[in-house]
Structure 1
Amino acid sequence: MIYRIAERSRGTFAFVMAMCAAFFVLTIAAMLLYPGGSLVQRNGTGYAFFENFFSDLGQTHTHSGASNLPSLVLFTIALNALAIGLAIFFVGFTRLFTESGRAILLARIAAFAGVISAVSFAGVAFTPWNLYLRAHNEFVTWAFRSFLLAVVLMIVAIAIERGFPKRFAWVFAAFAVVLAAYVALLAFGPTLATPQGAKIQVTGQKIIAYTSVATIFVQAWMARALSP
Protein backbone atom coordinates (compact mmCIF):
# COMPACT_ATOMS: atom_id res chain seq x y z
CA MET A 1 0.00 0.00 0.00
CA ILE A 2 1.22 3.50 -0.84
CA TYR A 3 0.33 5.90 1.94
CA ARG A 4 -1.07 9.22 0.86
CA ILE A 5 -2.18 12.17 2.91
CA ALA A 6 -4.64 14.97 2.26
CA GLU A 7 -3.42 18.48 1.49
CA ARG A 8 -4.77 19.63 4.87
CA SER A 9 -2.57 17.07 6.61
CA ARG A 10 0.43 18.34 4.68
CA GLY A 11 -0.32 21.77 6.09
CA THR A 12 -0.59 20.32 9.58
CA PHE A 13 2.84 18.73 9.41
CA ALA A 14 4.32 21.89 7.89
CA PHE A 15 2.99 23.79 10.91
CA VAL A 16 4.62 21.26 13.24
CA MET A 17 7.93 21.77 11.45
CA ALA A 18 7.57 25.52 11.89
CA MET A 19 6.97 25.11 15.63
CA CYS A 20 10.09 22.94 15.93
CA ALA A 21 12.15 25.51 14.06
CA ALA A 22 10.74 28.25 16.30
CA PHE A 23 11.91 26.33 19.36
CA PHE A 24 15.47 26.18 18.05
CA VAL A 25 15.56 29.87 17.13
CA LEU A 26 13.87 31.15 20.29
CA THR A 27 15.95 29.08 22.73
CA ILE A 28 19.17 30.19 21.07
CA ALA A 29 18.00 33.81 21.26
CA ALA A 30 17.10 33.31 24.93
CA MET A 31 20.59 31.94 25.59
CA LEU A 32 22.17 34.98 23.96
CA LEU A 33 20.12 37.30 26.18
CA TYR A 34 20.69 35.36 29.41
CA PRO A 35 22.55 37.62 31.89
CA GLY A 36 24.63 34.84 33.44
CA GLY A 37 24.94 32.62 36.47
CA SER A 38 24.55 28.89 37.01
CA LEU A 39 24.62 26.31 39.80
CA VAL A 40 28.32 25.84 39.08
CA GLN A 41 29.23 29.55 38.76
CA ARG A 42 26.60 31.77 40.33
CA ASN A 43 28.27 34.98 39.20
CA GLY A 44 29.19 33.78 35.73
CA THR A 45 28.63 35.90 32.64
CA GLY A 46 26.30 34.81 29.86
CA TYR A 47 24.76 31.41 29.22
CA ALA A 48 27.14 28.48 29.77
CA PHE A 49 25.91 25.73 27.44
CA PHE A 50 27.25 22.88 29.60
CA GLU A 51 26.49 24.49 32.97
CA ASN A 52 23.08 26.12 32.56
CA PHE A 53 19.89 24.10 32.31
CA PHE A 54 17.22 25.03 29.80
CA SER A 55 15.09 25.83 32.83
CA ASP A 56 17.55 28.56 33.80
CA LEU A 57 16.23 30.47 30.80
CA GLY A 58 12.81 30.44 32.43
CA GLN A 59 13.85 31.85 35.81
CA THR A 60 12.46 35.20 36.87
CA HIS A 61 15.92 36.05 38.22
CA THR A 62 19.25 34.36 37.56
CA HIS A 63 21.50 32.68 40.11
CA SER A 64 23.34 35.99 40.47
CA GLY A 65 20.10 37.84 41.23
CA ALA A 66 19.83 39.66 37.90
CA SER A 67 16.46 40.08 36.17
CA ASN A 68 15.91 37.47 33.47
CA LEU A 69 12.77 38.86 31.83
CA PRO A 70 13.89 38.82 28.14
CA SER A 71 15.07 35.20 28.30
CA LEU A 72 12.02 34.21 30.35
CA VAL A 73 9.65 35.56 27.71
CA LEU A 74 11.46 33.86 24.83
CA PHE A 75 11.77 30.58 26.73
CA THR A 76 8.06 30.59 27.57
CA ILE A 77 7.13 31.21 23.94
CA ALA A 78 9.58 28.53 22.77
CA LEU A 79 8.26 25.83 25.10
CA ASN A 80 4.66 26.64 24.27
CA ALA A 81 5.46 26.50 20.56
CA LEU A 82 6.99 23.08 21.15
CA ALA A 83 3.97 21.98 23.20
CA ILE A 84 1.54 23.04 20.49
CA GLY A 85 3.63 21.42 17.78
CA LEU A 86 4.00 18.19 19.74
CA ALA A 87 0.28 17.85 20.43
CA ILE A 88 -0.66 18.61 16.83
CA PHE A 89 1.97 16.19 15.55
CA PHE A 90 0.70 13.21 17.53
CA VAL A 91 -2.94 13.91 16.71
CA GLY A 92 -2.12 14.39 13.03
CA PHE A 93 0.14 11.34 12.89
CA THR A 94 -2.63 9.17 14.32
CA ARG A 95 -4.77 9.94 11.29
CA LEU A 96 -2.27 8.14 9.07
CA PHE A 97 -3.45 4.81 10.50
CA THR A 98 -6.44 3.55 8.54
CA GLU A 99 -6.18 -0.25 8.16
CA SER A 100 -5.63 -2.09 11.44
CA GLY A 101 -8.05 -1.54 14.30
CA ARG A 102 -5.36 -2.45 16.82
CA ALA A 103 -2.91 -0.01 15.25
CA ILE A 104 -5.50 2.76 15.28
CA LEU A 105 -6.25 2.12 18.96
CA LEU A 106 -2.57 2.10 19.90
CA ALA A 107 -1.96 5.26 17.89
CA ARG A 108 -4.81 7.01 19.67
CA ILE A 109 -3.46 6.01 23.07
CA ALA A 110 -0.05 7.22 21.92
CA ALA A 111 -1.58 10.52 20.86
CA PHE A 112 -3.19 10.88 24.28
CA ALA A 113 0.19 10.31 25.93
CA GLY A 114 1.73 12.77 23.49
CA VAL A 115 -0.81 15.44 24.42
CA ILE A 116 -0.08 14.84 28.13
CA SER A 117 3.60 15.33 27.33
CA ALA A 118 2.80 18.55 25.46
CA VAL A 119 0.73 19.90 28.35
CA SER A 120 3.56 19.02 30.72
CA PHE A 121 6.07 20.94 28.60
CA ALA A 122 3.76 23.96 28.74
CA GLY A 123 3.61 23.44 32.50
CA VAL A 124 7.40 23.60 32.64
CA ALA A 125 7.26 27.01 30.97
CA PHE A 126 4.72 28.42 33.41
CA THR A 127 6.42 27.19 36.59
CA PRO A 128 9.81 28.94 36.86
CA TRP A 129 11.98 26.63 38.90
CA ASN A 130 13.20 29.41 41.20
CA LEU A 131 9.57 29.99 42.27
CA TYR A 132 7.85 26.61 41.89
CA LEU A 133 10.61 24.01 42.02
CA ARG A 134 8.49 21.00 42.98
CA ALA A 135 5.82 21.62 40.35
CA HIS A 136 8.48 22.42 37.75
CA ASN A 137 10.31 19.15 38.35
CA GLU A 138 7.06 17.16 38.24
CA PHE A 139 6.19 18.68 34.87
CA VAL A 140 9.68 17.87 33.54
CA THR A 141 9.47 14.27 34.72
CA TRP A 142 6.03 13.60 33.27
CA ALA A 143 6.78 15.42 30.03
CA PHE A 144 9.53 12.94 29.19
CA ARG A 145 7.85 9.86 30.63
CA SER A 146 4.69 10.51 28.63
CA PHE A 147 6.76 11.29 25.56
CA LEU A 148 8.54 7.93 25.87
CA LEU A 149 5.24 6.08 26.23
CA ALA A 150 3.83 7.84 23.17
CA VAL A 151 6.87 6.97 21.06
CA VAL A 152 6.93 3.30 22.11
CA LEU A 153 3.23 2.88 21.36
CA MET A 154 3.67 4.53 17.96
CA ILE A 155 6.47 2.09 17.13
CA VAL A 156 4.18 -0.85 17.90
CA ALA A 157 1.30 0.71 15.95
CA ILE A 158 3.53 1.20 12.90
CA ALA A 159 4.72 -2.40 13.15
CA ILE A 160 1.13 -3.65 13.20
CA GLU A 161 -0.20 -1.42 10.41
CA ARG A 162 0.49 -3.30 7.20
CA GLY A 163 2.08 -1.16 4.54
CA PHE A 164 2.92 1.74 6.83
CA PRO A 165 6.38 3.08 5.89
CA LYS A 166 8.73 1.46 8.38
CA ARG A 167 11.24 4.29 8.22
CA PHE A 168 9.01 6.11 10.71
CA ALA A 169 9.44 3.24 13.18
CA TRP A 170 13.22 3.25 12.79
CA VAL A 171 13.41 6.98 13.55
CA PHE A 172 11.14 6.57 16.57
CA ALA A 173 13.14 3.54 17.76
CA ALA A 174 16.46 5.38 17.63
CA PHE A 175 14.92 8.28 19.51
CA ALA A 176 13.31 5.97 22.07
CA VAL A 177 16.75 4.66 23.05
CA VAL A 178 18.01 8.19 23.70
CA LEU A 179 14.80 9.18 25.49
CA ALA A 180 14.82 6.09 27.71
CA ALA A 181 18.43 6.82 28.64
CA TYR A 182 17.47 10.35 29.67
CA VAL A 183 14.49 9.17 31.72
CA ALA A 184 16.92 6.83 33.50
CA LEU A 185 19.35 9.72 33.99
CA LEU A 186 16.61 11.77 35.63
CA ALA A 187 15.71 8.91 37.95
CA PHE A 188 19.10 7.41 38.75
CA GLY A 189 21.72 9.88 37.55
CA PRO A 190 24.05 12.02 39.65
CA THR A 191 22.61 14.76 41.81
CA LEU A 192 23.14 18.46 41.32
CA ALA A 193 25.06 18.67 44.59
CA THR A 194 28.43 18.50 42.81
CA PRO A 195 29.66 20.51 39.80
CA GLN A 196 30.35 17.29 37.88
CA GLY A 197 26.88 15.92 38.58
CA ALA A 198 25.30 19.19 37.49
CA LYS A 199 27.27 19.22 34.23
CA ILE A 200 26.23 15.64 33.44
CA GLN A 201 22.57 16.46 34.00
CA VAL A 202 22.84 19.67 31.96
CA THR A 203 24.53 17.88 29.06
CA GLY A 204 21.95 15.11 29.10
CA GLN A 205 19.16 17.65 29.05
CA LYS A 206 20.64 19.50 26.08
CA ILE A 207 21.01 16.26 24.13
CA ILE A 208 17.46 15.08 24.76
CA ALA A 209 15.85 18.47 24.21
CA TYR A 210 17.32 19.07 20.78
CA THR A 211 17.09 15.40 19.82
CA SER A 212 13.38 15.46 20.70
CA VAL A 213 12.68 18.49 18.57
CA ALA A 214 14.81 17.19 15.70
CA THR A 215 12.97 13.85 15.78
CA ILE A 216 9.54 15.44 15.59
CA PHE A 217 10.75 17.75 12.82
CA VAL A 218 12.08 14.81 10.77
CA GLN A 219 8.94 12.72 11.32
CA ALA A 220 6.72 15.64 10.34
CA TRP A 221 8.86 16.27 7.27
CA MET A 222 8.63 12.62 6.18
CA ALA A 223 4.88 12.55 6.85
CA ARG A 224 4.39 15.73 4.83
CA ALA A 225 6.41 14.21 1.99
CA LEU A 226 3.99 11.30 1.58
CA SER A 227 2.37 11.65 -1.84
CA PRO A 228 -0.85 13.67 -1.64
Structure 2
Amino acid sequence: MIHSKRLMLVTIPRWNLGVFILLVFLAMFFYPGGTYRDGTTEGYIFSQNFLSDLGRWAVYNGQENYFSSVLFSFAFAATGLVFCFFFWTLPSLYSKERNIYLVSMIGSAGGILGGIFIMGSGLTPGDLMLDPHVFFSNWCFRFFLIAAVCYTFVFFRTDTMHTIYGMGYGLFAFLIAVYIGIIEFGPSIEESLSALKIQVVSQKLICLTFILAVAFQTYGNEEALGKRGI
Protein backbone atom coordinates (compact mmCIF):
# COMPACT_ATOMS: atom_id res chain seq x y z
CA MET A 1 0.00 0.00 0.00
CA ILE A 2 1.33 3.45 -0.95
CA HIS A 3 1.93 5.79 2.00
CA SER A 4 -0.39 8.81 1.96
CA LYS A 5 2.52 11.28 1.78
CA ARG A 6 4.05 9.47 -1.18
CA LEU A 7 0.62 9.43 -2.80
CA MET A 8 0.13 13.20 -2.39
CA LEU A 9 3.69 14.30 -3.14
CA VAL A 10 4.78 11.87 -5.85
CA THR A 11 2.19 9.53 -7.35
CA ILE A 12 -0.90 11.72 -7.79
CA PRO A 13 1.00 14.79 -9.08
CA ARG A 14 2.73 12.70 -11.74
CA TRP A 15 -0.54 11.14 -12.89
CA ASN A 16 -2.22 14.53 -12.82
CA LEU A 17 0.40 16.06 -15.11
CA GLY A 18 -0.20 13.31 -17.66
CA VAL A 19 -3.98 13.72 -17.49
CA PHE A 20 -3.68 17.52 -17.69
CA ILE A 21 -1.53 17.37 -20.84
CA LEU A 22 -3.89 14.85 -22.45
CA LEU A 23 -7.04 16.87 -21.71
CA VAL A 24 -5.52 20.16 -22.88
CA PHE A 25 -4.35 18.65 -26.17
CA LEU A 26 -7.80 17.07 -26.68
CA ALA A 27 -9.38 20.48 -26.02
CA MET A 28 -7.03 22.01 -28.60
CA PHE A 29 -7.98 19.30 -31.11
CA PHE A 30 -11.71 19.98 -30.74
CA TYR A 31 -11.42 23.79 -30.60
CA PRO A 32 -13.50 25.15 -33.54
CA GLY A 33 -11.35 28.18 -34.32
CA GLY A 34 -10.99 31.92 -33.92
CA THR A 35 -8.49 34.14 -32.12
CA TYR A 36 -8.72 37.44 -30.31
CA ARG A 37 -7.66 39.32 -33.44
CA ASP A 38 -9.26 37.12 -36.10
CA GLY A 39 -12.49 35.25 -35.57
CA THR A 40 -12.32 33.60 -39.00
CA THR A 41 -9.36 31.27 -38.35
CA GLU A 42 -9.96 27.54 -38.14
CA GLY A 43 -8.75 25.26 -35.36
CA TYR A 44 -6.45 26.06 -32.47
CA ILE A 45 -3.40 28.14 -33.44
CA PHE A 46 -0.63 27.49 -30.94
CA SER A 47 0.96 30.93 -31.31
CA GLN A 48 -2.28 32.96 -31.36
CA ASN A 49 -4.75 31.23 -29.04
CA PHE A 50 -4.46 31.50 -25.27
CA LEU A 51 -5.07 28.40 -23.19
CA SER A 52 -8.09 30.20 -21.77
CA ASP A 53 -9.62 30.35 -25.27
CA LEU A 54 -10.25 26.63 -24.79
CA GLY A 55 -12.50 27.42 -21.83
CA ARG A 56 -14.83 29.74 -23.75
CA TRP A 57 -18.41 28.48 -24.15
CA ALA A 58 -18.47 30.18 -27.55
CA VAL A 59 -15.43 31.03 -29.68
CA TYR A 60 -14.75 34.38 -31.31
CA ASN A 61 -16.92 33.65 -34.36
CA GLY A 62 -19.87 32.72 -32.15
CA GLN A 63 -19.61 28.97 -32.67
CA GLU A 64 -20.31 26.75 -29.65
CA ASN A 65 -17.28 25.32 -27.85
CA TYR A 66 -18.84 23.20 -25.14
CA PHE A 67 -16.67 20.10 -25.54
CA SER A 68 -13.32 21.91 -25.39
CA SER A 69 -14.63 24.09 -22.57
CA VAL A 70 -15.57 21.08 -20.41
CA LEU A 71 -12.18 19.44 -21.02
CA PHE A 72 -10.37 22.68 -20.17
CA SER A 73 -12.41 23.29 -17.02
CA PHE A 74 -11.91 19.75 -15.74
CA ALA A 75 -8.16 19.84 -16.47
CA PHE A 76 -7.61 23.10 -14.59
CA ALA A 77 -10.01 22.36 -11.72
CA ALA A 78 -8.42 18.95 -11.11
CA THR A 79 -4.90 20.35 -11.34
CA GLY A 80 -5.70 23.17 -8.94
CA LEU A 81 -7.15 20.68 -6.46
CA VAL A 82 -4.08 18.44 -6.72
CA PHE A 83 -1.83 21.46 -6.11
CA CYS A 84 -3.82 22.31 -2.97
CA PHE A 85 -3.30 18.83 -1.50
CA PHE A 86 0.31 18.78 -2.73
CA PHE A 87 1.25 21.99 -0.94
CA TRP A 88 -0.84 21.09 2.11
CA THR A 89 1.22 17.92 2.54
CA LEU A 90 4.65 19.28 1.53
CA PRO A 91 5.60 21.02 4.84
CA SER A 92 5.32 17.69 6.67
CA LEU A 93 8.63 16.72 5.07
CA TYR A 94 10.34 19.51 7.02
CA SER A 95 8.50 19.42 10.35
CA LYS A 96 11.67 18.30 12.16
CA GLU A 97 13.81 21.06 10.62
CA ARG A 98 12.71 24.05 12.67
CA ASN A 99 14.87 26.53 10.77
CA ILE A 100 12.96 25.97 7.52
CA TYR A 101 9.58 24.63 8.62
CA LEU A 102 8.00 28.09 8.96
CA VAL A 103 9.28 29.09 5.51
CA SER A 104 7.76 25.92 4.05
CA MET A 105 4.44 26.79 5.67
CA ILE A 106 4.49 30.26 4.10
CA GLY A 107 5.42 28.76 0.74
CA SER A 108 2.61 26.23 0.98
CA ALA A 109 0.11 28.96 1.83
CA GLY A 110 1.07 30.61 -1.45
CA GLY A 111 0.88 27.27 -3.27
CA ILE A 112 -2.58 26.45 -1.88
CA LEU A 113 -3.90 29.88 -2.85
CA GLY A 114 -2.33 29.43 -6.27
CA GLY A 115 -4.12 26.08 -6.60
CA ILE A 116 -7.45 27.67 -5.64
CA PHE A 117 -6.90 30.40 -8.21
CA ILE A 118 -6.06 27.82 -10.90
CA MET A 119 -9.42 26.22 -10.17
CA GLY A 120 -11.01 29.64 -10.39
CA SER A 121 -9.45 30.38 -13.78
CA GLY A 122 -10.68 27.03 -15.10
CA LEU A 123 -14.23 27.53 -13.88
CA THR A 124 -14.73 31.09 -15.18
CA PRO A 125 -15.10 31.07 -18.99
CA GLY A 126 -13.48 34.14 -20.51
CA ASP A 127 -16.48 34.97 -22.72
CA LEU A 128 -18.96 34.83 -19.83
CA MET A 129 -16.93 36.01 -16.81
CA LEU A 130 -13.94 37.88 -18.23
CA ASP A 131 -13.01 40.01 -15.20
CA PRO A 132 -13.06 37.11 -12.67
CA HIS A 133 -11.18 34.92 -15.16
CA VAL A 134 -8.41 37.51 -15.64
CA PHE A 135 -8.24 38.08 -11.88
CA PHE A 136 -7.85 34.37 -11.10
CA SER A 137 -5.42 33.78 -13.98
CA ASN A 138 -3.08 36.66 -13.14
CA TRP A 139 -3.06 36.25 -9.37
CA CYS A 140 -2.38 32.51 -9.40
CA PHE A 141 1.11 33.32 -10.72
CA ARG A 142 1.74 35.81 -7.93
CA PHE A 143 0.83 33.23 -5.30
CA PHE A 144 3.01 30.59 -6.98
CA LEU A 145 5.89 33.07 -7.02
CA ILE A 146 5.65 33.20 -3.22
CA ALA A 147 5.66 29.40 -3.12
CA ALA A 148 8.62 29.13 -5.50
CA VAL A 149 10.75 31.69 -3.63
CA CYS A 150 10.06 30.07 -0.24
CA TYR A 151 10.73 26.55 -1.42
CA THR A 152 13.90 27.62 -3.20
CA PHE A 153 15.17 28.61 0.25
CA VAL A 154 13.84 25.38 1.81
CA PHE A 155 15.43 23.11 -0.80
CA PHE A 156 18.80 24.79 -0.39
CA ARG A 157 18.71 24.50 3.42
CA THR A 158 17.24 21.03 3.95
CA ASP A 159 19.43 18.01 4.61
CA THR A 160 17.00 15.62 2.95
CA MET A 161 17.23 16.89 -0.63
CA HIS A 162 20.04 17.58 -3.10
CA THR A 163 20.76 21.26 -3.76
CA ILE A 164 19.99 20.76 -7.45
CA TYR A 165 16.31 20.98 -6.51
CA GLY A 166 16.93 24.39 -4.96
CA MET A 167 18.64 25.50 -8.16
CA GLY A 168 15.73 24.21 -10.22
CA TYR A 169 13.14 25.98 -8.07
CA GLY A 170 15.21 29.17 -8.13
CA LEU A 171 15.00 29.11 -11.93
CA PHE A 172 11.28 28.40 -11.63
CA ALA A 173 10.80 31.46 -9.40
CA PHE A 174 12.80 33.64 -11.81
CA LEU A 175 10.72 32.55 -14.81
CA ILE A 176 7.45 33.20 -12.95
CA ALA A 177 8.71 36.70 -12.10
CA VAL A 178 9.61 37.29 -15.76
CA TYR A 179 6.14 36.16 -16.85
CA ILE A 180 4.45 38.46 -14.33
CA GLY A 181 6.56 41.25 -15.81
CA ILE A 182 5.32 40.37 -19.30
CA ILE A 183 1.71 40.39 -18.08
CA GLU A 184 2.12 43.77 -16.39
CA PHE A 185 4.51 45.61 -18.74
CA GLY A 186 4.49 43.63 -21.99
CA PRO A 187 2.67 44.71 -25.14
CA SER A 188 -1.13 44.70 -25.14
CA ILE A 189 -2.80 42.09 -27.32
CA GLU A 190 -4.87 44.92 -28.79
CA GLU A 191 -1.77 46.52 -30.33
CA SER A 192 -0.81 44.00 -33.02
CA LEU A 193 -0.62 40.37 -34.01
CA SER A 194 3.01 40.30 -32.84
CA ALA A 195 1.95 41.54 -29.40
CA LEU A 196 -0.69 38.80 -29.22
CA LYS A 197 1.91 36.18 -30.14
CA ILE A 198 4.29 37.43 -27.42
CA GLN A 199 1.61 37.09 -24.75
CA VAL A 200 0.33 33.74 -26.04
CA VAL A 201 3.73 32.10 -26.45
CA SER A 202 4.95 33.36 -23.07
CA GLN A 203 1.85 31.85 -21.46
CA LYS A 204 2.56 28.51 -23.11
CA LEU A 205 6.19 28.63 -21.94
CA ILE A 206 5.29 29.37 -18.32
CA CYS A 207 2.74 26.54 -18.41
CA LEU A 208 5.45 24.19 -19.67
CA THR A 209 7.71 25.50 -16.90
CA PHE A 210 5.06 24.61 -14.31
CA ILE A 211 4.76 21.09 -15.69
CA LEU A 212 8.52 20.54 -15.66
CA ALA A 213 8.93 22.11 -12.20
CA VAL A 214 6.27 19.91 -10.60
CA ALA A 215 7.59 16.78 -12.29
CA PHE A 216 11.12 17.70 -11.18
CA GLN A 217 10.00 18.35 -7.61
CA THR A 218 8.31 14.95 -7.33
CA TYR A 219 11.75 13.35 -7.67
CA GLY A 220 13.07 15.57 -4.89
CA ASN A 221 10.09 14.63 -2.75
CA GLU A 222 10.74 10.97 -3.52
CA GLU A 223 14.34 11.41 -2.37
CA ALA A 224 13.26 13.11 0.87
CA LEU A 225 10.63 10.45 1.57
CA GLY A 226 13.17 7.70 0.96
CA LYS A 227 15.52 9.19 3.55
CA ARG A 228 12.64 9.03 6.03
CA GLY A 229 11.90 5.42 5.16
CA ILE A 230 8.54 6.25 3.57
Contact 2:100 2:158 in 1 (8 A): yes
Do residues 150 (structure 1) and 147 (structure 2) align? yes
Shift of 1:187: 0.7
Contact 2:115 2:140 in 1 (8 A): yes
Structure 1 alignment gaps of length 5 or more: 1-5
Which residue pairs with 2:23 in the alignment? 26
Residue 135 of structure 2, aligned match among 135, 138, 160:
138
- Tell me the SS of whatever aligns to 1:95: helix
Residue 4 of structure 2, aligned match among 5, 8, 27:
8
What letter is aligned with 2:7? G
Shift of 1:163: 4.7
Contact 2:77 2:118 in 1 (8 A): yes
In 1, the alpha carbon distance for the partners of 2:159 and 2:218 equals: 20
Shift of 1:46: 0.4
- Pairing 1:5-84 to 2, within 5 Å after superposition: 7-12=3-8, 13-84=10-81
Residue 188 of structure 1, aligned match among 182, 185, 190:
185
Q: Deviations over 1:146-200 (max 9, x none)?
A: 0011110111122333454322211111211211110110111100112111110
Contact 1:14 1:221 in 2 (8 A): no
TM-score by length of 1: 0.92
TM-score by length of 2: 0.92
In 2, the alpha carbon distance for the partners of 1:165 and 1:15 equals: 22
- Pairing 1:201-220 to 2, within 5 Å after superposition: 201-220=199-218
In 2, the alpha carbon distance for the partners of 1:186 and 1:109 equals: 25
What letter is aligned with 2:57? T
What letter is aligned with 1:220? T
**Relative to structure 2, which stretch is displaced further, 77-86 or 44-53?**
77-86
Contact 1:34 1:68 in 2 (8 A): yes
Structure 2 alignment gaps of length 5 or more: none
In 2, the alpha carbon distance for the partners of 1:222 and 1:32 equals: 34
In 1, the alpha carbon distance for the partners of 2:123 and 2:96 equals: 40
Number of corresponding residues? 223
- Tell me the SS of whatever aligns to 1:96: helix
In 1, the alpha carbon distance for the partners of 2:50 and 2:182 equals: 14
Residue 110 of structure 2, aligned match among 109, 113, 117:
113
Do residues 89 (structure 1) and 86 (structure 2) align? yes
Which residue pairs with 1:221 in the alignment? 219
What letter is aligned with 2:205? I
In 1, the alpha carbon distance for the partners of 2:129 and 2:209 equals: 26
Q: Deviations over 1:6-64 (max 9, x none)?
A: 83322222011111111111000000000000013211100000000000000010001
Which residue pairs with 1:3 in the alignment? none
What's the Cα RMSD here? 1.5
Q: Identity across aligned pairs (percent)?
A: 28
Contact 1:20 1:214 in 2 (8 A): no
Shift of 1:73: 0.3
